[in-house]
Amino acid sequence: MDYTVHTAADGLRVTLSGRMTLIDHEKFRNVVDAIEKAEGTVCIFDLTRLEFVDSSGLGMFLIARDVALPKKMEIELYGAQESVKRILQIAKFQTLFRVTP
């Protein structure tokens, strides 16, 4: 998995690409740190170039949410491809995150 983090006027923009799996935990720690430091009300994860996410990857989104919630920052999962969208759907992530097409 690769990621970029940008600061926006209302919060953060994170783009993820490649495969998000168990081995990306350490890397994702940096994204979580950025969320921790960020100001604003929304953190948008751009998933358009994310090819695959496994259960560990879902766990990482939950960790991000856990950090964002107390800061009243909402997490949006944007533009997931079909296969990733299906995994988010099975996990009913729309009940925890704002999932947008």
- As a whole number of angstroms, the distance between CA 82 and CA 8 comes to 27
Is the CB of 9 or the CB of 26 nearer to other proteins? 26
| Closest CB 46 distance from other proteins, rounded Å | 21
- Whose Cβ is closer to other proteins: residue 5's or residue 58's? 58
Question: Minimum CB separation from other proteins for residue 8, in Å?
Answer: 25
Rounded CA separation 98/60 (Å)? 16
**Contacts with other proteins, residue ranges (CB under 8 A):** 21-22, 25-26, 29, 32, 52, 54-56, 58-60, 62-63, 66, 83, 86, 89-92, 95-96
Nearer Cβ to other proteins (5/32)? 32
Closer residue to other proteins (CB): 70 or 101: 70
Assigned token pair, 94: 């729309």
Question: What is the tally of helices (H) and strands (E) in the chain?
Answer: 3, 5
Question: In this structure, what are the phi and psi dihedrals at residue 72, rounded to the nearest 5 degrees?
Answer: 60, 40
**Segments in 1-101 forming alpha helices (H):** 25-37, 55-68, 82-90
